[in-house]
Amino acid sequence: MKPALKILVIRLSALGDIVHSFPALRHIHNNLELMDINYSIDFVVYGKFKDLLLELDFLNKIHLLHDKKISSLLKLTRDLALENYDYVIDFQGLLKTGFISFFSLARKRVGFESPREKLASFFYNLKLAQHSIWDTNFHVVEHNLKLADFFLRELAFYEMFQGKIAAAHKPKYLLRSARNKDLRKVVIIPCTTWETKFWDTASWVELLERMSVSFPKARFFLTGVPAERVYLETITHQLLPTTYQKVSLVLDKGLIGLRLFFKDADLVLGVDTGPLHLAADALFDSDSAQILGIYGPSSGKRSGPYGFDYLSVDELFNKKATYKRTKKKDKGFINKVTPQVVFERILSMDVSASMLD
């Protein structure tokens, strides 16, 4: 048997960005299967995100970078160099990940010609040219799919495989139909890392009160980690008693548990944060579940819940996304999205009909 073609994929962080690489990984895997190639795919990630990758059962090995120390980085590259990789694909495009790709000693190193950090491209010898990852006409997932396609075509050329490159899956924007369920499960993700991505607690309270009245069968689950309990309770303690009784806090389920928790949701609401993208991946093949993202400093078109819906300040008010982390610089753009606007968008979704009496 011909020796396996060894491929290494690099995406160290963050939660949402790792999830955004999954469609590209599945696209590569599916095409290698069609080409009838003997292959293996390994992945490099920060240790705290390892559980995310357990969903991808076609991965051969997961290499972990446990911290940001130079000594850990050098140990990782030494270990990778022993693997004799044929190809490495850097979806992250940082100087650090470019360094890892180069010192993995892979024969071919694939990346963007214009990556997130320009110097990273120095480390690649196969570069996707004339394409900027900052182009907001494409979702991050689509940028990754373009790099995956580029890799597959280069692979077919260098390895002389003649297999046709299958088309990547396309998002099913707003094509999900209502389906009656006994369970009326609404999951809400209010917390994130950037100060500017937080929606006002008063806005969450108003939205929950509106939804409680309009969707009498619904139960609401506010998700987060234990450190976010105070913020989540700030929301719940302002609710009317009738609404408060319908709300539960879901804390620290872990990445695997959280993904499973999303699986039977009718509706997921959240700001731009990793768990929202995890929900989008978990529910992508659902015919009825809906997701709605609320976006302020970032662009929903570029990083919204892929295949689902979002409300984004830059599109609603024809303003350029600020990508600022502090409210002082961002001027609180996200609060331009009002509870009324969010509620009206929910009412326009097919899934709302299945929640009503």
Residues 104 and 201 in one domain: no
The last residue of one of the domains, among 124, 159, 194, is 159
The last residue of one of the domains, among 141, 159, 177, is 159
pLDDT band at 177; cut points 50, 70, 90: low
Q: What is the mean pLDDT of residues 301-318?
A: 94
Using the predicted structure, report yes or no on whether residue 171 has a pLDDT greater than 80. Answer: no
Q: Let me know if residue 10 belongs to a domain.
A: yes
Q: Let me know if residue 128 belongs to a domain.
A: yes
Q: What is the mean pLDDT of residues 141-151?
A: 96
**CATH number of the domain to which 115 belongs:** 3.40.50.2000
Q: What is the pLDDT of residue 174?
A: 52
Q: Let me know if residue 165 belongs to a domain.
A: no
CA gap 5, 32 in Å, rounded: 10
Residues 344 and 266 in one domain: yes
Residues 194 and 258 in one domain: yes
Q: What is the pLDDT of residue 175?
A: 56
Residues 241 and 285 in one domain: yes
The chain-wide mean pLDDT, for the chain, equals 91
Using the predicted structure, report yes or no on whether residue 302 has a pLDDT greater than 80. Answer: yes
Residues 240 and 303 in one domain: yes
Select from 201, 146, 171 the least CA-distant residue to 308.
171
- Give residue 318's domain range: 185-355
Residues 110 and 218 in one domain: no
pTM to 2 decimals? 0.91
Residues 18 and 149 in one domain: yes
Residues 288 and 190 in one domain: yes
pLDDT band at 350; cut points 50, 70, 90: low
The last residue of one of the domains, among 159, 177, 200, is 159
Residues 151 and 192 in one domain: no
Q: What is the mean pLDDT of residues 95-119?
A: 96
Residues 218 and 254 in one domain: yes
Q: What is the mean pLDDT of residues 120-149?
A: 93
Q: Which residues pair with 290 in a beta bridge?
A: 267
CA gap 4, 255 in Å, rounded: 31
Q: Let me know if residue 174 belongs to a domain.
A: no
Q: What is the pLDDT of residue 172?
A: 60
Using the predicted structure, report yes or no on whether residue 152 has a pLDDT greater than 90. Answer: yes
Q: What is the pLDDT of residue 131?
A: 87
Select from 141, 173, 116, 13 the least CA-distant residue to 323.
116
pLDDT band at 352; cut points 50, 70, 90: very low
Q: What is the pLDDT of residue 134?
A: 84
Using the predicted structure, report yes or no on whether residue 258 has a pLDDT greater than 50. Answer: yes
Using the predicted structure, report yes or no on whether residue 3 has a pLDDT greater than 70. Answer: no
pLDDT in tens, 5-33: 999 999 999 999 999 999 999 999 999 99
pLDDT band at 353; cut points 50, 70, 90: very low
CA angle (296 as vertex; 355, 185 as ends), nearest 5: 20
pLDDT: which is higher, 266 or 354: 266
Q: What is the mean pLDDT of residues 141-148?
A: 96
Select from 225, 154, 192, 223 the least CA-distant residue to 7.
154
Q: Let me know if residue 270 belongs to a domain.
A: yes
Residues 341 and 210 in one domain: yes
Q: Let me know if residue 275 belongs to a domain.
A: yes
Residues 152 and 301 in one domain: no
Q: Let me know if residue 37 belongs to a domain.
A: yes
Q: How many domains would you assign to the chain?
A: 2
Q: Are 292 and 268 in contact (CB under 8 A)?
A: yes
Q: Let me know if residue 173 belongs to a domain.
A: no
Tokens of 297: 């400093």
Q: What is the pLDDT of residue 348?
A: 84
Using the predicted structure, report yes or no on whether residue 110 has a pLDDT greater than 60. Answer: yes
Q: What is the pLDDT of residue 167?
A: 77
